[in-house]
Amino acid sequence: MSSRTQKLFVFFICLFLSGLSPIAFAQGNEDGNTVTEQNAGVANEETTTQALSESIDAQFGFIVENMAKVLFWVPVQAVPIPLIVLILFCGSLFFTIYHKWLNIRGFKHAIDITRGRYDNPNDPGEISHFQALTSALSATVGLGNIAGVAVAIHTGGPGAVIWMMLIGLLGMTAKFNECTLAMVYRKVRPDGTVDGGPMHYLEIGLQERGFPFPVAKAFGLVFALFCIGGSFGGGNMFQANQATSAVRGMLGDVAGINWVFGSVLAFLVGLVIIGGIKRIGQVTEKIIPLMCGIYVLAGLVILVIHIKQVPDAAVLIVRSCVSPEAAYGGFIGVLVQGIRRAVFSNEAGVGSAAIAHAAAKTDEPVREGLVAMLGPFIDTVVICTMTALVVIVSGAYNTPEAGQGVEMTRWAFSETLSWFPTILNISVFLFAYSTMISWSYYGEKAWQYIFGTTRTAIIIYRVIFLGFIILGAVASLDNVIEFSDLMILSMAFPNIIGGVILAPRVKTLLEDYWRRYKNNEFVVYD
């Protein structure tokens, strides 16, 4: 199938999905109907739309509930921490200690690499270090930073922020480990395109460590399946759900707005994802700096206005996390919510960013791992903390009418800057849009790992991905968040375990690279 035919196919699929809206089905009153009949038709249209949305949401909720029983299993009932949360926290702590606190000692060098000081245009790969970072950030700096932080505070209290920051710092080294492995085991095709990510380094690397092929292949397949699910969940449905919520907040509860906006969003995403990682990198390198700059600037304005409340907010965060007055179960709840929301936001340990960084132009795996390390810092330590402070100093976290998710963040900003909700709604759309186009690439690479790289296989995945955007727009927030957590967090099972097994290979490469860096053996291009 030619590129031109492929683009036309996706274009018409988007139009077809748009036509599935109940509003489209409800059109068609015949000429000669009375005004009363037309009004009755409108009422019936609204009822049909609502009934269909509720039916889809109910079925989706049933599936999510049963999946959660398996994937969020609590091994020790006396300590109600899901196994996956323990694996993520302990894995990130292990990588940080094992690589000798690289998140601190390698921070400055990582910034120099990202600035392009060591960029060799002749290195193999598809995108620059900066484009790889912005592509990965576009998948992480999204609504998890706006809505996810508010959800964490709403369910776990202000103390959840401490755990989000901690997992963000520890996650820097976890992301370094996985992205370095992705570079080591990536496959560069004759046409210059790249296949890489945990599914590849798990399959090849574990065999090198002595594991039989069926076991190594199973690790790769399990990761790929969860990655596909993650691309439909947190990388798609959650983004569409919260972007739709923002639009509904501006326009009100217009009949069928969820279906219409979901269809439009699917069409806009389809226009970009047909261009692959190069198109995605070109878009994200422009969107991400602008989005982050506007959002952080607005947050700083609010914090300056509420400067007297900032120390009290900091004390409240710490007290809510470690206060002896807090019940034991409450402390565990704060910890679990903080880690869940942080990992959902920065994706450290789950392996998704390794797929984007594998496409970077470099022949130094460690160098790209260092660039990837900046992701959790920007995403969680900077932007998530900014959101948390704004939500707390404004009082939104304990104001019932503020709602939850993106509504709470919007309320927090609008209480101080009456004009900001418009900017926030635009930011929500851009965050959601950039996240979806990057996650489509992650899911597509995982899909290709299982079903092959044929044009037909790729088209099938892209059509399904666009369909899930519409599903996310009509489903309830609770079900969408649970499904998103299930898929994205479960990617950590094979990735963390495999990453620990392959960590000695990364350590050997890091020690050699660091020796050459300290001896000034690298060529500087700026």
pLDDT (tens digit per residue) in 131-178: 777 766 666 666 666 766 777 777 777 877 777 788 888 889 999 999
**pLDDT of res. 126:** 63
Dihedral over alpha carbons 473, 475, 478, 482 (to 10 degrees) = -90
Per-residue buried b or exposed e for 286-296, using 16+ beta carbons within 10 Å of the residue's own CB:
ebbeebbeebe
User: Distance between CA 382 and CA 15 in Å, rounded?
Assistant: 39
User: Distance between CA 138 and CA 442 in Å, rounded?
Assistant: 12
Kindly tell me the sign of the dihedral angle through the C-alpha atoms of 490, 492, 495, 496. negative
**pLDDT of res. 31:** 46
User: Distance between CA 9 and CA 514 in Å, rounded?
Assistant: 49
**pLDDT of res. 54:** 67
Indicate the pTM of the whole model.
0.76
User: Distance between CA 326 and CA 317 in Å, rounded?
Assistant: 13
**pLDDT of res. 112:** 86
The length of the chain is 526
* Phi and psi angles of residue 398, each rounded to the nearest 5 degrees, phi first: -120, 25
Query: Nearest to residue 349, comparing CAs of 104, 74, 42, 86?
Result: 86
- Answer yes or no: are the C-beta atoms of 445 and 355 closer than 8 Å: yes
Q: 204-244 pLDDT, tens per residue?
A: 999 999 999 999 999 999 999 999 988 888 788 888 887 88
Supply 50's token pair.
Answer: 């609502």
**pLDDT of res. 12:** 39
The residue written with tokens 């927030």 in the block is: 477
* Phi and psi angles of residue 21, each rounded to the nearest 5 degrees, phi first: -55, 135
Query: Nearest to residue 65, comparing CAs of 474, 492, 478, 465?
Result: 478
User: Distance between CA 307 and CA 301 in Å, rounded?
Assistant: 10
Q: Which stretches of the chain score pLDDT less than 70?
A: 1-54, 56-57, 60-61, 63-64, 67-68, 70-81, 121-129, 135-145, 147-148, 249, 252-255, 275-281, 284-285, 322-346, 400-406, 476-481, 525-526
Please work out, in degrees rounded to the nearest 5, the angle formed at the alpha carbon of residue 9 by the alpha carbons of 6 and 13.
140
End-to-end CA separation in angstroms for the chain = 42
**pLDDT of res. 11:** 43
**pLDDT of res. 403:** 60
Q: H helices within 233-326, ranges in order?
A: 238-251, 257-273, 276-305, 310-322
Kindly tell me the sign of the dihedral angle through the C-alpha atoms of 142, 179, 123, 216. negative
Give 3-12+52-518's CATH code, choosing from 2.60.40.4070, 3.40.50.2300, 1.20.1740.10, 1.10.150.110: 1.20.1740.10
Supply 59's token pair.
Answer: 């079925």
Q: DSSP 3-state assignment of 360?
A: strand
CA R_g for the chain: 23
User: Distance between CA 482 and CA 474 in Å, rounded?
Assistant: 15
